[in-house]
Amino acid sequence: MQKEMISARQMFCIIIMFIFGSSVIMGVSSGAAQDSWMSLLLAAVFTVPMLLIYARIIKLFPEKNLFEIIEMLFGKIAGNIIIILMVWYSLHLCALVLRNFSEYIQIVSMPETPQLPIMIAMILVVVYMAKSGIETMGKWSIAMLSAVFLVVIITILFSLNKMDFTNILPFMENDFKSIAAGAFRLYAFPFAETVLFLCLADAMKKKDSPRKLYLYALLFSTVVLLLVILRNLFMMGPGMVGASYFASYVAVKLIDVADFFARIEGFISMNFILAGIIKITVCLMAAAKGTARLFGINNYRKLLLPVSLLAVALSAIVYKNVMEMIDFLRFYTYYAVPFQVIIPLTVWIAAEIRMHKRKLA
Amino acid sequence: MIKKTACLLLIILQIFLLSGCWNYRGLNEMSVVIGIAVDKAPDSGNYQLSFEITDISTPIKDKGVQSKIVESEGKTVFDAVRNAKKRIHNKLYFGQTQLVVFSNEIAHSEDFSGVIDWFLRDGELRETICVVISQEKTAREIISSKGIGQSIVSNEIRQIVETDEDATASTSAVEFYQVFNILRAEGKSLTLPEIHNVVNNDETVIEVNGTAVFKENKLVGYLTSDESKSFLFAIDEIKGGVLTVSSEGDDRDDISLEISKNSTKRSFDFKDDKINVSIHTDTTVFLDEAMVHNNALDDKQTAALEDAAAAKLENDITLVIQRVQSEYGSDIFGFGNMIYKKDFRLWNQLKDTWDEQFIALEVDVSSDVHIVNTGEIEKS
Amino acid sequence: MLTTIVILLYICVVLFDFLPSKETRSTKERVIYCILLTVSFCVLILYSLDIKVPGPTEPIRNVIETLFKPSK
C-alpha cells in the first residue's frame, strides 16, 4: 500500500482545528475569572518546551509514528506496555470529546433526544473521514479552518455594540498561583493534547520542519482562543462566564444588532462540529494505529470501525452527568501528565541516547 | 450485489432519518409565549404564572396577531410552567419570549436570584429577555392590559423599555444576563424598570414609571421618572431625554433642552480612611423649546442658561444620591464596583463595611452643559 | 428504541464492513475485529437497557485524589 503524505500546510490546519476542538465552545475554562486570558498566555508559554520535545522526536525519526518509534526504542515487551497506555489515552480522549458534543447538543438544542443516536451519527461521519485518509482530512481542514475562523471574526464584529470593556478590570485580582493553576489546566486541555500528532507523524514529509509547524500552529490558535476568551468576557462579564457550561454559546446568544441580526448561535454549533470532527478523527486514527501496531496489523483502516464503536461505548459510560464532565476537568490536568509529559519525555531521552551511541559507533 | 443492497437499504433508511427530529413539534402544536408574569398566591405561597401567548386561531389579516392569557399555579416557577399544560393542550414554547414581569410582592419578600434561576437555566429562553417590576398589585394586571401601538402588550413593553433611554430617560433597561451579573457583582446593586397601569382614552394601558431599587436580593423602593433621569446621568447611561430649566431662576421651568450627548466621568480618592467620590457630567444639548420671549441668544445669555441648567443638573443628581443613601442604603450607582475595578486591594478592605460607608459617602457632583443649537428658530 | 438502534447499527457494521472484506483479512485481524466489536456491543446494549456499567472516571478520580490534592 502506498504511504499517505500530507503537506505542511495541511498539517498546520489539522493541528489548529484539533486545538480548537472543544475549547472554542467550552469557552476555555480556567477558574481565574477575568484574569483567564493571562492564564491562556501563560499556558501557551508552558506548552512551548513540550512542543519542542514533540518536534524533536518527529525530527529524529522522520516518517515514523510514535508507536513505531516506541517499539524500536524499547523492544517488544516494554514497548507494548507504552503503546497500550497511549492507545488508552487516545481512545479515552476520543470518548471525552464525543461526550462533550452530545452533552452540548442535548443541553442547547435537543433536550429530548437521547445522546446515543447523536454520538452514533457523529462517529459514523468521523469514521468516514478517517477511512478517507489523512490526506482528505488535511484538504478538508484547510477549507474548514477558514470557515471556523470567519465565524469567530463575525461573532466578534457583531458583538462589539454589546461589549463592556471594563469587564476585564481589575487586573491580577487572582494571585499568581490561581492564574498559574488555570494555565496548567489549559496546558493539559487543549494545548498538550497535540501529543497525539506524534501518532500521525508518519504522514509528515521529511523535509518539513515539525518545530516550525507546531510553534506556528500554537501561535495562531492562542491568538484565536484569546479573541474567544475576550469576546466572552466583554460580552457577559466574569460572573456569567464562570457560571455557564458553554460560555461561547451563551455569549453569541446575546448578539443582537438592531433586532435584525440576532440568533446566530447556530454558527457556534457549526464551529464546534467542524473542529470537533477533526479532533475526534485524530484521536480515533491514533487509537486505531496503535491497536494495529499492537497486534501487528499493517492496515489500521480495517480496525477503524470497531475501535470507533469502542469509543462510543466508552463515551456512553464515561460520565454519569454533565456536572461530572465539568468536574473531571479538574482531575484531567493530573491524569494527562503521564501521556502528555512523561511518555514523550522518556521517548525523547531514549532517542537521544540511541542517536548519540550511533554517532559514536 | 452487496453494494446495491447497501445503497437500497441506505435510501430506505433516509425515509426514517430525514423525516424529522426525534421529537419534532410543529407550529400548530406549540403556543408561543411572548410575555410571562410572575405572582405569588398570598395564602398558599404558590407561584402564579400568567403567560401571554399568541392566538393563532383568529384570522391575522383583519386585526393583526391577537394574544390570550393562560394562567397556572405551582410550587416552583417551573412547576407552574408545566402545570399550564393542564389547561392548554399545546406545550408552551419560550424561544420567542420577550418580557418577564415580576410582581413587587415577590421582589420585596423573596430572594430574587432564586426566582430568576429557571429563566436563565432553561435552554429555550433567551438571555436577552427584558425584565420589569410591576407596581400594580399583581404582575398579571400588566400583561392583561391593552397595548396602544401593538396588540401584544409584552412586545410593546419591551420596546418601550428598550428605547426609553434614548428618548425619555425615565428608567434603565436591564437584560436577564445582566441581572445575573449584577446580583453577583462586587459593590453594585440591581435596578429594574417598573411599570404601572394608567388610563388612556378610557382604556387601561401600561406606562413606564421609573426605576425599582434593589438591595442585595430584595426590592427596597422606587425612584420616580425624574429621579431615574438623574440616576442615569450618574451612571453614564443617558442617551436622550429632556432637561427643563427656568429662565428666571424660579420654580417655573419654561425652557426645554434636549439631551443629545452626555459623558459622565466618575472618580474616587481615598484619604484619611474616607472615600470621596466625584462625578462630572459633560452634556451637549439642543434648545428645543422656550416658552418665554427672548431675543437671539448672545454669548452671555447662552452662558447664563448653560450655568442654570448645569446647576439644576448638579442639584438633581446630588438629591437623588442623597435620597438613595438615606432611604435605601443600596449602592445602585456602582461606586463600590468602580473602586473594585480600579483598586481591588482597597476594595477588599472596604468590602465588609461597604453598606455603612456608602451611606456616609461624600459625593461631589459637577456638571457642564453646552447648548449647541436652538432648533429652527433664532429668537422668539 | 435505543436497543433497536444499537442492534441495527451492529448488523449494518457486520454486513457492510466485516463480511465484504472477509477474504482480504487474515485470521488474526478477524479475531481482533470480533473481540473489539463484541466488547463495545455488550457495553452499548447494557447502556441502552439502562444497566449501570462502571466507567473509568471514578477510579481515575480516586487515584488522583489520593495522590494529589487538586484545588477546586
- Per residue in A137-188, pLDDT (tens digit) is 999 999 999 988 898 898 899 888 888 888 887 877 778 888 888 888 888 8
Per DSSP, the three-state class of A289 is helix
Spatial distance between the Cα atoms of B362 and B81, rounded to a whole number of angstroms: 47
- Range with the lowest mean pLDDT among B176-185, B243-252, C52-61? B243-252
Q: Is A209 on the interface with B (CB under 8 A)?
A: no
Q: A253 and chain B: CB distance < 8 Å anywhere?
A: yes
Angstroms from B6 CA to nearest CA on chain C: 7
The three three-digit cell numbers of residue B245, written as one number: 430649566
Model confidence band, residue B132 (pLDDT cutoffs 50, 70, 90): very high
Nearest CB partner across the interface for A310, out of C9, C39, C56: C39
Residues of A in contact with B185 (CB under 8 A): 237, 239
Q: Is the pLDDT of residue B357 over 90?
A: no
User: Which residues on C lie below 8 Å from B2 (Cβ)?
Assistant: 15-16, 19-20
**Domain housing C10:** 2-67
Beta pairing partners, B103: B134
Q: What percent of chain A clears pLDDT 70, i.e. is strictly above it?
A: 97
Q: What is the pLDDT of residue B19?
A: 59
Mean pLDDT of C23-45: 88
User: For A8-353, CATH number?
Assistant: 1.20.1740.10
Tally of structural domains, chain C? 1
- At B178-226, the pLDDT tens digits run 888 888 888 889 999 999 998 888 888 888 888 999 988 889 999 998 8
Burial class (CB in 10 A: 0-12, 13-18, 19+), A166: middle
Distance (Å) from the alpha carbon of B184 to chain C's nearest alpha carbon: 20
**Chain C residue at shortest CA distance from A128:** C17
Locate B236 and state its grid cell. Answer: 453614564
| Contact call for A319 and C37, based on CB within 8 A | no
- Residue C49 in this model has a pLDDT that exceeds 70: yes
Q: Do A305 and C29 touch (CB under 8 A)?
A: no
The label of the residue with cell 484545588 reads C71
Cβ-Cβ contacts under 8 Å, A115 against chain C: none
For chain A positions 128-157, those within 8 Å of chain C (CB to CB) are: none
CB B186 within 8 A of CB B347: yes
Q: Nearest-5° angle of CA A104, CA A105, CA A111?
A: 110
**Domain assignment of residue C6, yes or no:** yes
User: What pLDDT shows up at residue B151?
Assistant: 82
Neighbours of B34 (CB within 10 A): 22
Residue C19 contacts by C-beta under 8 Å, 6 or more apart in sequence?
Answer: B2
Query: Could you tell me where in chain B the CATH 3.30.300.210 domains are found?
Result: 227-380
Mean pLDDT for all residues in chain B:
86
Residues in chain B within 8 Å Cβ distance of A239: 180-181, 184-185
For residue A240, report the phi and psi dihedrals to the nearest 5 degrees. Answer: -70, -35
B contacts of A32 (beta carbons < 8 Å): none
Q: Identify which of A307, A317, A331 has the shortest CB distance to residue C61.
A: A331
Comparison of pLDDT for A340 and A1, the residue scoring more = A340
| A235-274 residues touching C, CB cutoff 8 A | none
- Answer yes or no: CATH 3.30.300.210 is held by domain B227-380: yes
- Give the residue from chain A lying closest to C13, CA to CA: A305
In a domain, C72, yes or no: no
Contact (CB<8Å) C44/A312:
yes
The pLDDT value recorded for residue B23 is 62
Torsion of CA A22, A27, A32, A35, to 10 degrees: 120
The pLDDT of A351-359, averaged and rounded, is: 89
Q: Do C9 and A120 touch (CB under 8 A)?
A: yes
Closest CA to A35 of A182, A160, A162: A182
On the question of pLDDT at A254 being above 70, the answer is yes
The three three-digit cell numbers of residue A95, written as one number? 470518548
